Structure 1
Amino acid sequence: MFDVSEWITDNARLVIAVMVVASAVVAAGVPMVDRSTSLDQFQTDADEADALEYVDANFSRGTTDTTSAQVIVRDDDVLDKGTLVSILEYERALQTNETVNETLVENDSTRSVANVVATAAIREDRAAELQTRERELARTEAHLAEALDSLESNPNASVRPAFDAVDANTSVGLTEEDYTLFAAAVEERRESTDDNETTPTATAQNETGDRSVTEQILADEYARLAEDRRELAELDPTLEKQLEELRSLSDSEVGTLVADVLAGDSDRSARALAFMPDYYEPGSTGTNATLLVVTQESAGGSFAPGDAPEEIEDAQAAMTDLAPDDDSMAVLVYGDGIVSTEITNSMIDSVLLVGPLAIAFVLLVLVVVYRDLLDILLGLLGIVLVLVWTFGAMGWFDIAFSQPFIVVLVLLIGLSIDYGLHVVMRYREARESSGTPPRRAMAVALGSVGVALVYVTTTTVIGFLSNLTSPLGVFRELGVVSAIGIVATLLVFGLLVPALKVELDELLERRGIDRVKPAVGTGGGPVNRLLDTGATLATKAPYVVIVVALLVSAAGAYGATGIDASFEQSDFLAEDPDDWVKDLPDPIAPGTYTAGTAIDTLDRDFVRQDTTATILVRGDVTDPATLDRLDAARTNASDMSATETYADGEPAVTDPVTVMDRVAADDESFNRTLSAADTDGDGVPDENVTAVYDDLYRVAPEEAADVVHREDGEYQALRMVVTVDSGVADEVVRDQMGWIADDAEGEGVSVIATGDVILNQITADQLAETALLSLVVALLSVFVVLAVAYRLTEGSASLGAVTIVPVAFTLTWVLGTMALLNIPFNIVTGMITGLTIGLGVDYSLHVSERFNQELAEAETVTAALHETLTGTGGALLSSAATTAAGFAVLLVAILPFLQSFGLITALTIVYAFLASVFVLPSLLVVWARVMNRGPGSGPPTSG
C-alpha cells in the first residue's frame, strides 16, 4: 500500500488531471437525472398488483380515467342555509373555472350534501305540483262524470253549456276533440235510456263506458303526469336551479329539509350521509364538517399515486385557490393532484432546506476540527465532487431521483467528511511527529489509513449492496447509488483531495507559509482523556466491558423483535412546517403543505372515498352459485372490523347484488327481470343470470360497468368494493379481505383481494424482509471479507471476526432504540441494517487497523491502545461529530420519514463511535492475549 501511496503523491498532478477529466465525464450525466414521484416504484411484482391493474383497466369507476378530489368543508354549522348556499356557489366556481372545468367528468362532477338537500327541495316542490295536478285531474274527471249523469237525466238540456261549465272550472285545458268525445257519450247514454236498456249488466257497461270516456278525454294529461313522475325520479337540476331553490327557502324550511334528507331511512339519506362525518347523528340539523367530492377525468388514462398528470395537479391547486376568501366556510382539498404536487415540492424543499443546513453544520464542525481554511475548502470541494459523481452516475444509469434519495445526499456528505478527516488527521500526525515534507507525509498518511479506507469502502459497499436482495426495486436502486457514492468518496478523498493538498501545501510553504497543523486528540486535554478512557477500561476490566455490552445488546435484540413495518401514502407527505422554518430566507424556506392534515382529518372523521379494497372474481361469473357466494361474502364483510360504516351504521360495501337492488328500486322493468330470475326471493338471481346482467347494462350501464366486466358480449369478471376503516391496521385489512375472498372462492372462478391498502401492506412486509435480508447478507459478507483479508495480510482471520463484533453490538443497539422510540421500518429506515453495518465497520476498521500497526511497534498493548485511540480515535470523534450533525439536520426536515431517519442514523453513528472506542479496545486486548499477539509479535503493516 505504501508503494501505491508514494506513486499517488509523486504523480499528484497526473492524478489531478485524470480525476478532473473523469469528473467532467461523469458530471455530464447530471442533467439526465429525472425526478420520480410515483409510489409505484415502491411496489414489487405480486398477484394483488396484477389484479388491481386489471380492475383499473376494466371497471368503469376504477382509476383508469377518473380521479376524485375530496374537499373538506368546515364551519360552525355546515348544514345551515348560508353554508349550504356557499357550498353550491363554490361548486359553481369550480365548474366555471377553465382550469378545473376542463378536467371534470360530464355528469355529477361535483357532489355534496348541499346538492342532495337542494335537489330534495326541488323534488318536493315538483312532487307537490304533480299531486296538485293529479287532484285537479281527478276533480275534473268527477265533474265530467257528474255532467254526463245530469245530461242523461235531462234529455232536453244542452250539451255544450254543461261541457263549457266544466271547462271553465278546471285548470285542465279541454279541447274540441274532448267535447266531441263528451257529446258522443251523452248521445249514447240518452239513446240507451230511450231503449230502456237498464238491466244491471247494461248499467255496469254504461258506467264502464262513462269511465272510459272521461279517461279518454283526460288521457293526454294523465300521460303527461306519468311522464313527469318518471322524470321526477331522475331529477337532476342544474346548480343554478339548486341555488335558486335554496335561496328561496327560509332558515327553518332548510332545517326541516335537512332533518328529513339526513334521517337515515332512505336511499336518498344514504347518499347524503356518505358526505357526513362519523360523529354526525342522522336527522340532526347541525354539524361542523362535511365533504364535497369532485370527480375528474384524466385524458392520459390511469396513473399511479403520486404521479398525477399536470392538468390534474393544476386543477386541484385551483380548487384551493377558489375557496371562499370570506368567513362563510373553510375549505381543505385532498386528491391525487395535491399529493403529486406536494411530493414534488417536498423533494425540492427538502433538498433546499436540508442541503444548506447540513453543509452549514458540517462546515461548523470542520472549522472547529480543521481550523484551516485550505483544508475546509478542500473538504467542501470533495463533497461537491462526490455528489456530482453520484448524481452523474444516476443520470448515466437512468435512475430517477425520488424522496428516499435525499437520504443518500446527506449520507454521502457525512461519509465524505469522514474519509477526509482520516486522511488529513493522519497526514497532520506524520508532519507533526517527524517534520516530514508534505509529499512524504501524505505518502505515510495514505499508506497508514489507505488499507483501512479500502477495507471500509469494500465493507460499506457490501452493506449498501445487500439491498440488492430486496424485492423492492427502489431499494435495489438505493443500494447501487449508495455504493457508487461511497466508491466515488474513496476516489475523491483517496486520490484527488490528497493530490491537491500536497500540491497546494508545497506551493504555500515555498512562499513561507507554515502548513504544519495539529491533529485532533494528539495534544492532551479533555478530548485526549476522553478517548483514552477506552484504553484504560480495556486494560483494567476488559471482560466487564464485554459483558455489559452483551447485556445491553441482548436487550436491544429483544426489543428489535417488536419493530413494525409501515408503508403509507402519508409517509411521503410533508408536515406543514413551523412558522420559524417558513420565515427562513428564500429559497430555503419551504412552502405550505396541507395534504397530511387532510389525510388525518379524513381518516379521523370521514368515510374515505379513496381507501377501498376490491374482491375480484374472474371466471364463470354467470353461474348463480358465484353470485350466491359473493352475496354471502358481502354479508360477512359487513360484520368485519375493517369494513367502514356510514353515519347511519350501514356498511360501505358495493357489489353486483347491491347495485341490482338499487337499480330495481328505481326501474320497474329491471325489477321485473330481477324478480323473474330470483325464484327463491332472496334478492339474488337463481337463473338467467346473463339476461339479468344484459338488462342491468341496458337500464344502468354506468352502475353495471362498476361491478360487472363485459368484453365482446361475454361476462368475465365481478368485483366487490369494500371501503375500509382507515383506523384499522393494514395487516388486519389484508387478512380480513383475504377471508372475504376465500368466502367467494368456488368452482369455475378465481377470487383475489386487492387494493392500495393491501398492496401497501405487502410493501410493508417487504420492507421488513429487506431489513432482515440486508442484515444477514451484509453481516455475513463483511465477516467473510474481513476474515479473508486479515488472514491474507496479518495471518489471523480472527482479527476480522473481532472487528465485526462491535458492529453487531451497534446493530442491536440501533434496533432496540427504534423499538423504544416506536420507529418502524419504512421507505428509508428499511435500509438501516445495511447502513449500520456499513457505518459501524467504518469506525471499527480504523481502530483495528491502527491498533494492528501500533502493536508491531509499541512496547505494551496499553501503549498501542493509547496511540490508537488518541490518534485514530481523534479522527473518529471528529468524523462522528460531523456526520452525526449532518444527519441530525434531518430533524428539521418537512418529511416525517426523513426526521426519523435522521434521528436513528445520528444515533447509529454515535453508537458506532462508542462501540469502536469503548468496547472494541477490550475485545482487542482479549484477542491479543488469546492469540498471543503482544508488542512486536507480528510484522508491521505497510506504512
Structure 2
Amino acid sequence: MREQVNETNRLASLLDKHALAILSGSIFITLIMVSQLVPFPEFSTEVSDFAPPNESERQIEAIELEFPPQASRIYVNVKSSEQTGNPLSLPLIQDMYNESLAIQSMAEERGVTILSQINVALAIDTIISERDPSKNLMSMSSWNEVIDAVEEGEDCTSLAGETSITAAAGFAAEALVSSDLKFDGLCDYLDGVNNADPTPSAYSTMWIIEASAQDPKEILMPFSLELREYLSEGGSAGANGLVYSVVSEELVSQDINDGTLSNFTSLLAISLLVIVGILALAFRSAVMVSAPLVALTAALSWTYGLVAIGGSEFTVLDIAVAPVILGLGIDYGIHMQKGYERNLSQGMRPSLAWVESFDGLRLALTLSVVTTVTAFLSNALSPIDPLRAFGTTLAIGVVCAFLATTITVGAIHVVFERSTGKSVRNVNNSTKIARKTSAFMDQGLAKVMAVVAILTLSSALISVGRLETSFELTDFLDEDMESMEARDEIYGNYDVEFVKTAIILIDFNDQETIPDDKTIMQSMLGLHSRLVLDENVIRPQNTENSRPQYEGIYTVLRDKLEITPDWGSDFGIELFDGQVGLSSNHQEGDLTAALTLLTEDLTLGDPLRGHTWADRVSRVVAFDNSTGTISHLMIDVSVTAESSVDTDSIADGFQEHASWLESDGNCGCVTYLTGEIIVIESVLDGLFVSQLESTVLSLIASFFVLMALTRRFSTSAVIILPVALAGIWVVGTMALVGLNWNVLTVMITALTIGLGIDYSIHMWRRFEDELDKGADRVHAMSNAYEITGAALMMSAFTTASGFLVLLLSPVPVIQDFGFVSAASVALSLILALFVLPALLLSEAKARGIK
C-alpha cells in the first residue's frame, strides 16, 4: 500500500514538474500533424474502391483487354433557354450539333478519348449523311427537309416495326427525349397532310458523352469539370438558345469531395459548440470545459495526421471517425474530471488529484481502450479496403483520445491551477433515486430480463426483411447542388434515365475443345430469348416484341441481316421468322468468317453512336490470333436502376443468365460477370457481409480480451451482453423509423460496440471497486450509480447532442448517421444503467456477496 502511495506521489511530482513541457509537446505534435493536413486530402468516393476482391478479377481484366475500353458516361440534360421553347426545333438542334463538335475538339486537346456522343443532333446528321453524303444537318433549313432527306417510304405505322432502325428510334425517343415528346405533326407530314409541320417538340433532350473508362481520372475529372463549366456558361456561343445541366459519376465524386469537408467541418464546429455549452452547465468552470475540448481537438489532428503520414487515402467513411473519437474522448474526459473534482474537494493539490483520479480509473480505462481498439481493429479483417482503413483509423483515434484526455488534459489543469491558484470543488451528493434503483435491480432481474427479451425480439422481428443496403454517391450531396439538380431533372423527365451496364464475358479458351458454330448460335439465341423476358433490360416500348437493348454477336448479325438480307447467304446465316439461325448450306467456320468480314465493314452500323459494323464487331467478339477462331465473346446489356436497391434483382438475374449459359445453354464456355450494376451489387453485398462479420468478430474479440483481463467468464459475459443487445436494438430502431443501411449507417455497429463496451466497463469497474471497499452489493451499486452513472449520463447526453447536430446537415446520409448514432448512444446508456446493473447484482449474488 505504501509503495502504491509512493508511486502515486512520484507520478504527481513528475506531472507537476513537466506539465508545461507536456502541454508544449502536445501543441508541437498537433502543429506537425495539422501541417500534414494542409491542404486537406481529398476524400475518395470511387464506387469500385468499396468493391470486395473478386476471385475472377484477373481473368476478367485479361478478357477485357481483348476488347475496346468500356465507357464512362457524362449525361447532359438540354433545354431551351426560353420557358416555352422547344429544344428539338431545327435551329437549336443545329446549335447542339456545333457544341458536339466543340466538345470533341476540347476532348482531343485534353487527351480524353471520346468513344461516342449520343444525341438527336448527331444521330440525325449521321442518317442524313448516310442517305446522301453531299448533305448534312447543317445544310437543312427546316424539319421538312430533314424528313425528306432521311425517310424511305416510312409512315407512323411502320415505326412500330421490328427492325434495328425502328428499335434505335424507339430507344432514342425514350432515352434521349423527355417523356412529353409530341410528334403528331411528323405523322401528318408522313401521311401527306397538307401544310403539316413535322417539327417534334419536347421539354428537354438528353446528350450522352461516352468517354473511355481507361483514361486516367487525373485527366477525365478535370475534363468533366471543364465541360460542365463550359456548357453552364452557354457553350461556344455564350448565352445561346440552349441551357445545359451536366452530371456524371466523376462530377458527383468531385462535388462530394468539395462539399463533404466543408459541410462536415461546419457541423463538427456546431457540435463542439453544443458540447461546450453542455460541459459548461455540468462543470461551471472554464478550464473544465476548455481542457477536454482542446485535448480532443488535438486528438482529432493527431488521428487524421497519422493517417495522412501513413499514406492512406481518405474515404467517406472517415466522416464517422471524428464524432466517434469525440464521443469516446468526452467519456474518458468526464470520468477523469469527475474524479479530479472529488479529489480536489478533499484538499489534494491539482497534480495529485489528477493522478489519483487516473489511478482509480486505470483498470476501467485500460479495459475500455483495449477492448474498443480490439473491436475496431476487427475491421482490419474485412476484404474491403475502406473498411480496413476505417477500423485502423478508429483504433488510432481511440488511442489518441485516451492519451489526450489522460495526459494533456491533466497537464492543462496543473498549468492552469498553478497560474491562477483556483480550484474547482463541486461535489455531487448522493440521491435516494440511486438507492431505490439499486434495490429494485437487486430483486428485479426477472422483470428486467423479461422486458429486455420482449424489446430484443421485437427489434429482430421488425428489422428482418425491412432493412435494405443502399449505396448511392448522390446520397452524399445536398439537393440544391448542381449535380443533384441535373440528376433530379433526368429522373423526372425521361422514361429511361441513367443507363448502366451488365456485362457477360464468355471465355472459350479454358475449354479443351472449342464449341462448333451451331452450339454457339443456339446458346446465343437462348440467351437472347432470356433477355427478351428480363424486365430489367431496357427495351423500346414501341416495338412489337420489345427488343432488349444489348450488344452481342446475335444482335450484330440480326441487325446486319435486317438491313442487307442477302449478306449472310454465303455463310449460311439467315433470318428465320426474325430470329438468326444457320441454314442447311452453313459449314463449320462460316460464323468466324462472317464476323471476320464484318471487321472490315466501315459502313454505318449504329446510327445513334455513329459506329461502323467494324466498330460493333470489335466490341463483341475477340479472335485467337494463332488459330483465327473465336476466343471470347462480350454481351453488353443496357439496364437501368433508379437506386442501388434495384440492383439486387438485376444482379441475381444476370447470375442466372450466366449459369444457364454454362449448363442448359451448353455454350461450352466459362462465363464472368462485370459492368457497373455488377460492381455496385458486389459493393452492397460486401458492405453488409463484411460489417456483419466484423461485428461478430468484434464481440468475440472483446469477450476474449475481457476474459484475459478479468479472468472470469461470467463477468465477461455480463459485460458484453448489453453491448450485443444494444446492436440489435439499434438495428430495430433503424427499421422502425424506415432507415436503410448505407455506407455510413452500416458502421453503426462498430460505434455501438465502442461506446457500449466503454459504458459497461465503467459501471462494472466502479461496482467492483465499491465491493472491494467493503460495501454490500446494493450499496456498491448505489455508489456506482451515484458516481459513475452520473458521469455516464453527462457523457452520453453530451455525445448524443453532438451527433444530433448532424440532423442540420442538408445531406441525407449524414442526417441518417447523426440520428442513428444518437440512438446508439442512448440505447447503450440505457442498457448500461438499467440492464447491466441487474446482471452484475445477480452475478455478485451468485458469488455469495451480500
Name the TM-score, length of structure 2 as normaliser.
0.83
CA distance in 2, matches of 1:680, 1:505: 94
RMSD: 3.8
Aligned counterpart, 2:172? 275
Aligned counterpart, 2:801? 885
Tell which deviates more after alignment, 826-835 or 592-601. 592-601
Superposed counterparts of 1:340-739, under 5 Å: 340-432=253-345, 434-509=346-421, 514-518=422-426, 522-523=428-429, 534-535=437-438, 537-539=440-442, 541-562=444-465, 564-570=467-473, 573-577=476-480, 592-595=481-484, 598=487, 601-602=490-491, 605-608=494-497, 610-619=499-508, 620=514, 623-648=517-542, 649-666=546-563, 670-675=567-572, 683-685=580-582, 686=586, 687=588, 688-699=590-601, 700-710=613-623, 712=625, 714=628, 715-726=630-641, 729-739=646-656
Identity of aligned residues (%): 22
The equivalent position to 2:714 in structure 1, one of 779, 798, 822, is 798
Superposed counterparts of 1:124-135, under 5 Å: none
Aligned counterpart, 2:50? 42
Please report how far the alpha carbon of residue 500 of structure 1 lies from its aligned counterpart in structure 2 after TM superposition: 2.4
Please report how far the alpha carbon of residue 890 of structure 1 lies from its aligned counterpart in structure 2 after TM superposition: 2.2
CA distance in 2, matches of 1:14, 1:731: 60
SS of 1:58's partner is coil
SS of 1:657's partner is helix
Aligned counterpart, 1:176? none
Please report how far the alpha carbon of residue 477 of structure 1 lies from its aligned counterpart in structure 2 after TM superposition: 0.8
Is the alpha carbon distance of 1:316 and 1:238 closer, same or farther for their aligned partners in structure 2, counting shifts above 3 Å?
farther
Deviations, residues 434-457 of structure 1 (Å, cap 9, x unaligned): 222212211221111222111111
Deviations, residues 577-597 of structure 1 (Å, cap 9, x unaligned): 5xxxxxxxxxxxxxx242476
CA distance in 2, matches of 1:51, 1:885: 50
Asked if the contact 2:500–2:677 (Cα under 8 Å) also holds between the matched residues in 1, the reply is yes
Aligned counterpart, 1:71? 76
Superposed counterparts of 1:177-216, under 5 Å: none
Asked if the contact 1:39–1:307 (Cα under 8 Å) also holds between the matched residues in 2, the reply is no
CA distance in 1, matches of 2:226, 2:87: 31
Deviations, residues 494-533 of structure 1 (Å, cap 9, x unaligned): 1221122123223321xxxx322426xx247xxx677667
CA distance in 1, matches of 2:677, 2:132: 35
Residue 761 (structure 1) aligned with residue 658 (structure 2): no
Deviations, residues 39-85 of structure 1 (Å, cap 9, x unaligned): 2220121146556545654332513xxx3322234579999576454
Deviations, residues 460-515 of structure 1 (Å, cap 9, x unaligned): 11221121232211101100110011011111111221122123223321xxxx32
Is the alpha carbon distance of 1:333 and 1:597 closer, same or farther for their aligned partners in structure 2, counting shifts above 3 Å?
closer
Q: Structure 1: 5+ residue runs without aligned partners?
A: 124-230, 578-591, 935-943
Aligned counterpart, 2:209? 295
Tell which deviates more after alignment, 454-463 or 281-290. 281-290
Please report how far the alpha carbon of residue 274 of structure 1 lies from its aligned counterpart in structure 2 after TM superposition: 2.1
Tell which deviates more after alignment, 45-54 or 757-766. 45-54
Q: What code does the residue aligned with 2:75 have?
A: Q
Q: What code does the residue aligned with 1:741 have?
A: A
Aligned counterpart, 1:62? 70
Residue 855 (structure 1) aligned with residue 771 (structure 2): yes
CA distance in 1, matches of 2:760, 2:113: 66
CA distance in 2, matches of 1:288, 1:532: 74
CA distance in 2, matches of 1:117, 1:540: 84
Asked if the contact 2:726–2:752 (Cα under 8 Å) also holds between the matched residues in 1, the reply is yes
Please report how far the alpha carbon of residue 541 of structure 1 lies from its aligned counterpart in structure 2 after TM superposition: 2.8
Asked if the contact 2:459–2:732 (Cα under 8 Å) also holds between the matched residues in 1, the reply is yes
Aligned counterpart, 2:693? 773
SS of 2:335's partner is helix
Asked if the contact 2:574–2:580 (Cα under 8 Å) also holds between the matched residues in 1, the reply is no
CA distance in 1, matches of 2:134, 2:366: 74
SS of 2:622's partner is strand
Tell which deviates more after alignment, 53-62 or 381-390. 53-62
CA distance in 2, matches of 1:276, 1:547: 62
CA distance in 2, matches of 1:530, 1:604: 61
Aligned counterpart, 2:753? 837
SS of 1:614's partner is strand
CA distance in 2, matches of 1:723, 1:819: 33
Q: What code does the residue aligned with 2:53 have?
A: D
Is the alpha carbon distance of 1:420 and 1:319 closer, same or farther for their aligned partners in structure 2, counting shifts above 3 Å?
same
Please report how far the alpha carbon of residue 615 of structure 1 lies from its aligned counterpart in structure 2 after TM superposition: 1.2
Asked if the contact 1:399–1:477 (Cα under 8 Å) also holds between the matched residues in 2, the reply is yes
Asked if the contact 1:632–1:743 (Cα under 8 Å) also holds between the matched residues in 2, the reply is no
SS of 1:729's partner is helix
Q: What code does the residue aligned with 2:226 have?
A: D
Is the alpha carbon distance of 1:348 and 1:107 closer, same or farther for their aligned partners in structure 2, counting shifts above 3 Å?
closer
CA distance in 1, matches of 2:418, 2:745: 45
CA distance in 2, matches of 1:829, 1:674: 58
Deviations, residues 524-574 of structure 1 (Å, cap 9, x unaligned): 7xxx67766743532453431222122212222333433545253445541
Asked if the contact 1:789–1:797 (Cα under 8 Å) also holds between the matched residues in 2, the reply is no
Asked if the contact 2:620–2:634 (Cα under 8 Å) also holds between the matched residues in 1, the reply is yes
CA distance in 2, matches of 1:37, 1:865: 48
Please report how far the alpha carbon of residue 249 of structure 1 lies from its aligned counterpart in structure 2 after TM superposition: 8.3
Asked if the contact 1:456–1:841 (Cα under 8 Å) also holds between the matched residues in 2, the reply is yes
CA distance in 1, matches of 2:538, 2:62: 24
Aligned counterpart, 2:195? none
Asked if the contact 1:259–1:283 (Cα under 8 Å) also holds between the matched residues in 2, the reply is no
Aligned counterpart, 2:120? 113
Please report how far the alpha carbon of residue 813 of structure 1 lies from its aligned counterpart in structure 2 after TM superposition: 0.7
CA distance in 1, matches of 2:409, 2:737: 40
Q: What code does the residue aligned with 1:545 have?
A: V
- Tell me how many residue pairs correspond in the alignment: 789
Asked if the contact 2:445–2:838 (Cα under 8 Å) also holds between the matched residues in 1, the reply is yes
Name the TM-score, length of structure 1 as normaliser.
0.76
CA distance in 2, matches of 1:849, 1:368: 27
Q: What code does the residue aligned with 2:408 have?
A: L
Tell which deviates more after alignment, 382-391 or 329-338. 329-338
Is the alpha carbon distance of 1:691 and 1:99 closer, same or farther for their aligned partners in structure 2, counting shifts above 3 Å?
closer
CA distance in 2, matches of 1:68, 1:567: 22
The equivalent position to 2:788 in structure 1, one of 859, 862, 872, is 872
Is the alpha carbon distance of 1:600 and 1:866 closer, same or farther for their aligned partners in structure 2, counting shifts above 3 Å?
farther
The equivalent position to 1:816 in structure 2, one of 716, 725, 732, is 732
Please report how far the alpha carbon of residue 927 of structure 1 lies from its aligned counterpart in structure 2 after TM superposition: 1.9
CA distance in 2, matches of 1:681, 1:666: 12
Is the alpha carbon distance of 1:87 and 1:70 closer, same or farther for their aligned partners in structure 2, counting shifts above 3 Å?
farther
Tell which deviates more after alignment, 329-338 or 351-360. 329-338
Asked if the contact 2:504–2:635 (Cα under 8 Å) also holds between the matched residues in 1, the reply is yes
SS of 2:580's partner is coil
Please report how far the alpha carbon of residue 234 of structure 1 lies from its aligned counterpart in structure 2 after TM superposition: 6.9
Tell which deviates more after alignment, 838-847 or 26-35. 26-35
Asked if the contact 1:113–1:272 (Cα under 8 Å) also holds between the matched residues in 2, the reply is no
